[in-house]
Amino acid sequence: MALDLDYVRAQFPALKNDWIFMDNAGGSQILKGVVDRISEYYYSNNVQLGGSYQISQDALAAFQQGRADIATLFNASRPEEIVFGPSTTILLQFLSKAMVNQFRAGDEVIVTITDHESNIGPWTWLEERGVIVKFWPMNKETYELELEALDALMTEKTRLVAVTHVSNLLGTINPIKEIASFVHDRGAKICVDAVAYAPHRAVDVQDWNVDFYALSLYKTYGPHHAALYCRYDHMKELDNLYHYFYGRDKIPAKMEPGNANYELSYGSGAIVDYLASLGEQAGETGSRRKKIEAAFKDIEAQEAAIGERLLSYLRKRNDCTILGIRDGRDPRRVPTIAFTVQGQDPEKICLDMDKYKIAIRFGDFHARRLGDALGITKDNGAVRVSLTHYNTLEEVDRLIAALDDILGK
Ligand SMILES: Cc1ncc(COP(=O)(O)O)c(C=O)c1O
């Protein structure tokens, strides 16, 4: 069934703005349900947790509700597997810090050049402990990560592979279930950056059997907040980052030093309510998980339609180079579409686009090593149009008309 776009767009009040938002991989618009929950928390429960009095107990229940909701979004087996934090960057830095004592000199970690720096930097820091960091190269023609190349890098000393689920520049989905199984067969763990994946497809950490999995809620229709999944047995092994007297058993608070942001954690739960409502509209009557999965089927179809509309235009222009898969209907692609235009500065294209009130972005999007490998960093990177399910074909047509004006037909 097709998404009811009137319903969808009504859930995002900011879409009434006369701007067209096509920088969703930078940050999506926020759901009204999320803002409502945040205000509800502030107006009813805004006290410190841990008090014996009733409102403090209510605040704790709201915080726990948020964690349970986000566990449903990940399909985690229990809420305690979810760690909240201000950003994916910080959560992955915390993870590397909490794992540091699991590494010995000579151990190996593999990172990819296609990742955002958030899932590279924290692992390269282990070099200070004598850990050897290797880079999983991409195929230079297809820009894809191949298991044969990973196989060539892995040894019995490999402890961890850190890889993105979707490149925020190329929009290519990596086969995470297959990669996780490959990595586990060789005795290592896998840490996945899902920031550019989670807004577009259903997450299922149990089905894929990943060890660590992080996403940013502000790109997934929520607030500036992030969540990290740590499989429970691994969570138990992580060092305590909180006060010494809490110890390792304080799960997951040992990974949330200080206070987590209660209101944003509770508010984020409304993302799941929204997805479940889309699933119901698609006719799914089962569990909330089933509804989320049904919602993402419709989201995928809408995204394929709008992505392909733009990509078919870019394919016809002989001055444009599309970075990543060229077919918008390819199931391995999300509509995060980056391209360069011969002889044109990406910054100027974006600045020119401002007068059409279409928000797009240029640069390397903090995937600096990928930008360098593609040879685009020195030229202001690429233009990125990052669509999501609430964008419409009409909006894409307005973008195409603006591109025709700016670049010439
Ligand atoms: C793929 C990817 N990973 C990680 C990040 C960093 O996320 P955060 O801003 O939550 O630290 C981003 C942000 O753009 C991203 O696109």
pLDDT digits (tens, 9 = 90+) for 283-340: 999 999 999 999 999 999 999 999 999 999 999 999 999 999 999 999 999 999 999 9
Looking at residue 168, its pLDDT comes to 98
Q: Stretch 130-151: mean pLDDT, rounded?
A: 97
The closest of 182, 185, 191 to 150, measured between CA atoms, is 182
Quickly state the pLDDT bin for 7 (edges 50, 70, 90).
Answer: very high
What are phi and psi for residue 195, nearest 5 degrees?
-60, -40
CB-facing half-sphere around the CA of 314: CA atoms within 13 A: 26
Report CA torsion sign: 204, 208, 212, 218: negative
Looking at residue 294, its pLDDT comes to 98
Q: Which ligand 1 atom is nearest residue 166's CA? A: 1
| CA 301 to ligand 1 centroid distance, Å | 25
Percent of the chain with pLDDT over 90: 99
Which among 116, 201, 261 is the best mutation to test ligand 1's pocket, defined by most ligand atoms within 8 Å of the CB?
A: 116
Return the beta strands (E) in 259-375 as ranges. Answer: 320-323, 336-341, 358-359, 361-363
Looking at residue 388, its pLDDT comes to 98
Looking at residue 29, its pLDDT comes to 98
Distance CA 223, CA 217 (A): 6
Distance CA 76, CA 83 (A): 12
Query: Which residues on neighbouring strands pair with residue 336, listed in sequence order?
Result: 386
Contacts of 61 (CB under 8 A, 6+ apart): none
| CA 405 to ligand 1 centroid distance, Å | 32
Cα 402 to Cα 319, 352, 395, 398, distances in angstroms? 16, 9, 11, 6
8 Å CB contact between 192 and 217? no
216 lines ligand 1 (CB under 6 A): yes
pLDDT in tens, 54-65: 999 999 999 999
Joined tokens for residue 206 = 């149990």
What is the rounded average pLDDT for all residues in the chain? 97
In DSSP notation, 16-42 reads: GSSSEE-BTTT-PPPPHHHHHHHHHHH
Query: Which residues on neighbouring strands pair with residue 382, listed in sequence order?
Result: 363
Domains defined for the chain, CATH in brackets: 5-30+288-407 (3.90.1150.10), 34-272 (3.40.640.10)
87 lines ligand 1 (CB under 6 A): yes
Quickly state the pLDDT bin for 24 (edges 50, 70, 90).
Answer: very high
The three-state secondary structure class of 131 is coil
Percent of the chain with pLDDT over 70: 100
